[in-house]
Amino acid sequence: MTLSTLVLTPFLGSLIAACLPANARNREAWLAGAIALFGLVTAMQLYAPGQVVYERIAWIPALGLEFTLRMDGLAWIFAMLVLGIGFLVVLYSRYYLSPEDPVPRFFAFLLAFMGAMLGVVLSGNLIQLVVFWELTSLTSFLLIAYWHHRADARRGARMAFTVTATGGLCLLAGVLILGHIVGSYDLDAVLAARERIQSHDLYLPALILIALGALTKSAQFPFHFWLPHAMAAPTPVSSYLHSATLVKAGVFLLMRLWPALAGTEAWTWIIAGAGTCTLLLGAFAAIFQRDMKGLLAYSTISHLGLITTLLGIGTPLAMVAAIFHTLNHATFKASLFMAVGIIDHETGTRDMRVLRGLYRQMPYTATLAIVASGAMAGVPLLNGFLSKEMFFAETLLVGGDSNWWMSYAAMAVGVFGVVYSLRFITVFFGQPAAPLPREPHEPPRWMRFPVELLVLACLVVGVAPGISIGPILHQGVVAVLGADTPHYNLAIWHGFNLPLLMSFLALTLGAWLFQLLLRRFHLDQREQTPLLHRLSGAQAYENAMLALGRAAALLLSHLGTERLQPQLLAMTAALLLVPLLLAGLPTGWQLPPPHPVDPYFAMLWLAGGGCALAAAWQAKYHRLAALALAGGTGIVTAITFLWLSAPDLALTQLMVETVTTILILLGLRWLPPRLPPQARPPAPPWNVRLRRSRDMLIALACGLGMALLSYAVLVRPLPEGIAGFFLEKALPEGGGTNAVNVLLVDFRGFDTLGEITVLAVVALTVYALLRRFRPAPESVAIPAQQTSLLDAATRQTPAEQANSGYLRVAGIYMRLLLPFMGITAVYFFLRGHNLPGGGFVAGLIFSVALIVQYMLAGTHWVEARMHLRPHRWLGYGLMLACATGLGAWAFGYPFLTSHTAHLDLPLLGELHLPSAFFFDLGVFVTVVGCTLLILVALGHQSIRSHRVPERLETTREAH
Amino acid sequence: MEAVIAIAIGVLFGSGVWLILRPRTFQIITGLMLMSYAVNLFIFMMGRVWIDKAPLTLKPGIPSLGEYADPLSQALVLTAIVIGFATTALYLVIMIGARGLTGTDHVDGKEPEA
């Protein structure tokens, strides 16, 4: 068992849970429970008191990056908290969730959250910690939005995610600064560099950013508003995430980095300041909630504020109190949330204005909840009392003898705490005023069990802290404070002193204030928080989001466009200007150029360039002409390749030219013609002329720039590159004399594999797009040439024409062409390694051979006789290429290592069989599959019966 | 030779740029084809002008650059040509699909207002 198993098992469980059937509530709960228990056992087993357990897994050793897990006392306590409460929550959820809820999703998210949380507490590297931190935000988002059909759940989830994830980004920035100061992201290195960090100029920015991360996560003022809205989550989630674990991540981080960051004035002001505000605000608002979960949420905010204040105070004893209170709060608050869940589950409401007298129907649950709220109020003999008293003691110390403000605040919080705890338990007493949605009764035995266990823990810790929680707490304290660990005594009785007096004063004053509020202010029916209801963080958040959205829309409408032409204009202008501004005009002209002009070559390009210009001129109204002209340019390009020593390119260009022309011809069938206006058009308006002149200028400038650049490069000598290497090694190491082909299938085999994959992806995309293809209404009708299957002159169908009619001669020799072209393809394929040819060219030749058959006799005739399945060709080709690459692994070489076998075969003699042969075969098969798939899919559109749009039908009927 | 090639690349590229700034979808596809010829030639020419020196190392002895043309730029362009075909096909299908869906062959899917 290692730490990584501890962190990874929940993620694994999450995957398994997601795959289980929707009605397997028991199986999923067993799985999740087993994982939590397994984690608990593992964590117990791995931990050695007083020591730090490490696990390092090398990730990118070259960059010094490793995945580090580190468990000291503090991490151990938090891990136990996450796993222990996690286990109880799983048990509770089993009964809480109804059979209609999508249970697999719930447990999958819950387990993923558990893993992420363990990742946060066990990370030994700060960046890694931030990654897990954001994962907890994400899983929390998913869990809050679990009932995503409810608007409040979606809103709450979005708000929680926006606030905590933004905080996470701040944290990342802060951690990066911290890493920059220390020179390492390793937690140990950071913790050891206290002096260096605190004397650095960047200390304050780092502190502020990290504090932003921690304060948003722990719902501290002014970011506290997301927590009450997160209560839209199912209650087990609130109990687990929003009281015991997730919100504790913020205070955990502050504790974790306490040795490195704490002890300065800035720390105290920021952390204790935010903490004190939160403490008072949360406690005050909690009194006036009417939703039981809302009350608990504000109370949680207040208690988190208390912990944050303790951390801000920064004395070692305050740290002890902070860790102690974290544990105490987790136990009593989780149990209270679960009790609320039970009440909600059994009565159908959580509204404290209607809930009354529940004690009679559910005495056990009521007793448990009353004890737990006693702990929340700080009643003696319960765990909340102990840590709250430590808090009072610390606040007394801070102000010394002169400044009592901190103590007043602490006192106020104590009083408010008692008031809202009393308010909470009113639901159990009195007479019900109105009938409840459901008749309440006790929950199932095992749904109550987690609450019982947690309340028992509150009692045991409250009565005998020294022997129950003492040793565990000590581990955490030592891990943070090390040699500075103060002497402290966890006991109920410290004699008569000021903190004790404060505790009792708080209890008495609280009870009095509660009575007062009830009598004078109708607390039991109040709708909103007095004074503070205007100070709505949620409203501010919504306003900020709205303003952001508006600003973005404004920017988009001014700076963006949905139109293509301005975008292309900007791109071409950038293409022209950016190199010009960065590098200036090309220099170093050499005249005359190294090679004298061949007049034939010049004439060739006179034709090629003329074709291009004419195509540009004709593309608007004369598409066929433009296509033919562009094809002319393509042929000239192919001849140029041949002229300039690139026979492979010439072959490929020629074949691609062929298939492209067929492709576009097939496509033009579905592009209704654009007819030039009959009458002589009036002179275009000035803005059109201006636009055309502008485009012409840009086109001229781009052409000129490209020509100048090409010339400037061409007259320079070729610098020493890697080309020589390929030429040298082609034969001895690649086993072929055609360096281009050896490069493609051997040296750059991986690139080629990627390229044929792209080819396959594009072909499949084309196929998929055509499956849903709705042609333009004007193109749906059968073209005039095809209205009758019979040729008007010969009274024959096209198939008859090819078989026995006037196309017979052409038909016979074009059918004969198939075997000949097949052999040509095989020939070009086989010689490819040594002479011009190869998989790409051969594949294209073979595709053209097949397409010719389609063109001659039509789709039906060909497909009745040949069962070509281009999808399979494509798949087999890719598989063959990959398998060839993987074959190298079998011999312990890297992917795509080539090998040439020398076989001595009877009859054939000695045969060189390079593994690249099989790779090239894969390329060949893929190219054939892709080309056929694209062209045949396009061709099939003509024999598909397209639904004529209604619009056109009605006009037809009208005629 | 160099001047002719440079001018040819410039003419093809300029025609292509002019076309891709036009509003009709077929003009764009033609423009892209012309631009791809230009760019393929440009990348190919990065290996400089070699006449009658195909990179086929059939002669005995250790081959070196100078005896043969640069095979690297050729290999790069070869796959670019084939992929160019695939992307042209993709563009074509989108073009005819958009024509059917929007009822216009304007690149924005709607005719410009007056």
The fold of the B2-53+67-102 domain, in CATH, is Helix Hairpins (1.10.287)
- Whether A556 and A508 map to the same domain: the answer is no
Has residue B78 got a pLDDT over 90? yes
Q: What angle do CA A293, A297, A298 make, to 5 degrees?
A: 125
- Residue contacts between A and B (CB atoms, under 8 Å): 326
User: Facing residues of B106 across strands?
Assistant: B24
**How far apart are the two ends of chain B, measured CA to CA in Å?**
48
Distance from CA of B49 to the nearest CA of A (A): 6
On chain A, the residues whose CB falls within 8 A of the CB of B32 are none
Q: How many domains does chain A have?
A: 3
Task: List the structure tokens of A722.
Answer: 């890697």
By C-alpha distance, the chain A residue nearest B99 is A776
Tell me, letter by letter, the H, E, C secondary structure of A329-387.
Answer: HHHHHHHHHHHHHHHHHHHCCCECCCCCCHHHHCHHHHHHHHHHHHHHHCCCCCHHHHH
Residue A200 lies in a domain: no
Distance from CA of B113 to the nearest CA of A (A): 13
Question: How far are the Cα atoms of A61, A274, A469 from residue A393, in angstroms, in the given order?
Answer: 49, 20, 20
Task: List the structure tokens of A324.
Answer: 């102690």
Residue indicated by tokens 């809480």: A96
CA A9 – CA A7 distance, rounded (Å): 6
- Whether A555 and A530 map to the same domain: the answer is no
* Of B7, B1, B8, the residue nearest A596 (C-alpha): B1
CA A43 – CA A37 distance, rounded (Å): 10
Q: Which of B22, B35, B57 to mutate to test the interface with A (most CBs of A within 10 A)?
A: B57
Residue A70: other Cβ atoms inside 10 A: 19
Nearest-by-Cβ selection for A699 from B3, B18, B55: B18
On chain A, the residues whose CB falls within 8 A of the CB of B25 are 671
On chain B, the residues whose CB falls within 8 A of the CB of A608 are 8, 12
CA A38 – CA A46 distance, rounded (Å): 12
CB B57 within 8 A of CB B38: no
Distance from CA of A935 to the nearest CA of B (A): 9
By C-alpha distance, the chain A residue nearest B80 is A755
Q: What share of chain B is helix, strand, coil (3-state, %, to 5)?
A: 65, 5, 30
Q: Which of B22, B37, B58, B113 to mutate to test the interface with A (most CBs of A within 10 A)?
A: B37
Residue A160 lies in a domain: no
On chain A, the residues whose CB falls within 8 A of the CB of B13 are 702-703, 706-707
Contact assignment for A707 to B29 by CB distance below 8 Å: no
Residue A715 lies in a domain: no
- Whether A809 and A919 map to the same domain: the answer is yes
- Classify strands A65-71 and A53-60 as parallel, antiparallel or unpaired: antiparallel
Question: How far are the Cα atoms of A156, A574, A669, B21 from residue A570, in angstroms, in the given order?
Answer: 41, 6, 33, 10
Residue indicated by tokens 């929007």: B102
Nearest-by-Cβ selection for A714 from B2, B18, B25: B2
Contact assignment for A644 to B44 by CB distance below 8 Å: yes
CA A51 – CA A271 distance, rounded (Å): 29
User: Facing residues of A665 across strands?
Assistant: none
By C-alpha distance, the chain A residue nearest B105 is A671
Residue A677 lies in a domain: no
By C-alpha distance, the chain A residue nearest B56 is A738
Distance from CA of A853 to the nearest CA of B (A): 21
Run of H or E residues at A139: helix A126-144
The distance between the two most distant Cα atoms of chain A, rounded to a whole number of Å, is: 121
Task: List the structure tokens of B24.
Answer: 């009709």
User: Facing residues of A905 across strands?
Assistant: A909
Give the tens place of pLDDT for each residue, A271-304.
999 999 999 999 999 988 888 999 999 999 999 9
Task: List the structure tokens of A335.
Answer: 């149990």
Distance from CA of B32 to the nearest CA of A (A): 10
- Whether A809 and A909 map to the same domain: the answer is yes
CB A385 within 8 A of CB A333: no
Residue A285 lies in a domain: yes
Contact assignment for A698 to B21 by CB distance below 8 Å: yes
DSSP state of A593: -
Q: What angle do CA A110, A116, A118 make, to 5 degrees?
A: 105
CB A726 within 8 A of CB A742: yes
Contact assignment for A730 to B63 by CB distance below 8 Å: yes
CB A253 within 8 A of CB A212: no
By C-alpha distance, the chain B residue nearest A629 is B30
On chain A, the residues whose CB falls within 8 A of the CB of B34 are 612, 615-616, 630, 633
Asked if residue A21 has a cis previous peptide bond (ω within 30° of 0), the answer is no
Contact assignment for B86 to A930 by CB distance below 8 Å: yes
3-state secondary structure of A904: strand
Q: Which of A644, A770, A771, A848 to mutate to test the interface with B (most CBs of B within 10 A)?
A: A644
Chain B touched by A639 (CB under 8 Å): no
- Whether A906 and A922 map to the same domain: the answer is yes
- Whether A509 and A546 map to the same domain: the answer is no
Cβ burial A530-539 (10 Å sphere, 16+ → b, else e):
eeeeeeebee
Query: Which domain range does residue A432 map to?
Result: 262-535
> ipTM beyond 0.95?
yes
- Whether A542 and A426 map to the same domain: the answer is no
- Whether A444 and A567 map to the same domain: the answer is no
Nearest-by-Cβ selection for A633 from B12, B75, B86: B12
Report the pLDDT value the prediction gives residue A951, as an integer from 0 to 100.
53
Domain edge (last residue) among A535, A564, A591 = A535
Contact assignment for A656 to B85 by CB distance below 8 Å: yes
- Whether A491 and A550 map to the same domain: the answer is no
Distance from CA of B70 to the nearest CA of A (A): 6
Distance from CA of A743 to the nearest CA of B (A): 7
Report the pLDDT value the prediction gives residue A955, as an integer from 0 to 100.
52
- Whether A430 and A336 map to the same domain: the answer is yes
CB A427 within 8 A of CB A295: no
Contact assignment for B37 to A722 by CB distance below 8 Å: no
CA B24 – CA B38 distance, rounded (Å): 21
Hey, where are the domains in chain B?
A: 2-53+67-102
3-state secondary structure of A71: strand
Contact assignment for A647 to B54 by CB distance below 8 Å: yes
Which amino acid would we find at residue A723?
A: A
Q: Which residues contact A809 (CB under 8 A, 6 or more apart)?
A: none
CA B12 – CA A208 distance, rounded (Å): 57
Spans of chain A, pLDDT less than 70: 64, 399-401, 433, 531, 533-535, 588, 590, 945-959
By C-alpha distance, the chain B residue nearest A706 is B10
Distance from CA of B85 to the nearest CA of A (A): 6
Chain B touched by A733 (CB under 8 Å): no
CA A573 – CA A628 distance, rounded (Å): 29
CB A414 within 8 A of CB A388: yes
On chain B, the residues whose CB falls within 8 A of the CB of A594 are 2, 49
Contact assignment for B58 to A707 by CB distance below 8 Å: no
Which amino acid would we find at residue A746?
A: D
3-state secondary structure of A129: helix
On chain A, the residues whose CB falls within 8 A of the CB of B113 are none
Q: Which of A562, A564, A597 to mutate to test the interface with B (most CBs of B within 10 A)?
A: A564
Contact assignment for B20 to A572 by CB distance below 8 Å: yes
Cα R_g (chain A), whole angstroms: 39
Residue B39: other Cβ atoms inside 10 A: 18
Chain B touched by A711 (CB under 8 Å): yes
pLDDT band at residue B52, thresholds of 50, 70 and 90? confident
Q: Which of A569, A577, A589, A595 to mutate to test the interface with B (most CBs of B within 10 A)?
A: A595
- Whether A767 and A903 map to the same domain: the answer is yes
CA B61 – CA B63 distance, rounded (Å): 6
Interface of A with B in 823-842 (CB under 8 A): 834-836, 840
DSSP state of A787: S
- Residue A189 CB burial class (10 angstroms; 0-12, 13-18, ≥19): middle
Asked if residue A592 has a cis previous peptide bond (ω within 30° of 0), the answer is yes
Contact assignment for A836 to B103 by CB distance below 8 Å: no
CA A801 – CA A329 distance, rounded (Å): 91
On chain A, the residues whose CB falls within 8 A of the CB of B94 are 769
CB A284 within 8 A of CB A276: no
By C-alpha distance, the chain B residue nearest A701 is B14
On chain A, the residues whose CB falls within 8 A of the CB of B48 are 714, 717-718
- Whether A521 and A559 map to the same domain: the answer is no
Which amino acid would we find at residue A447?
A: M
Residue A581: other Cβ atoms inside 10 A: 8
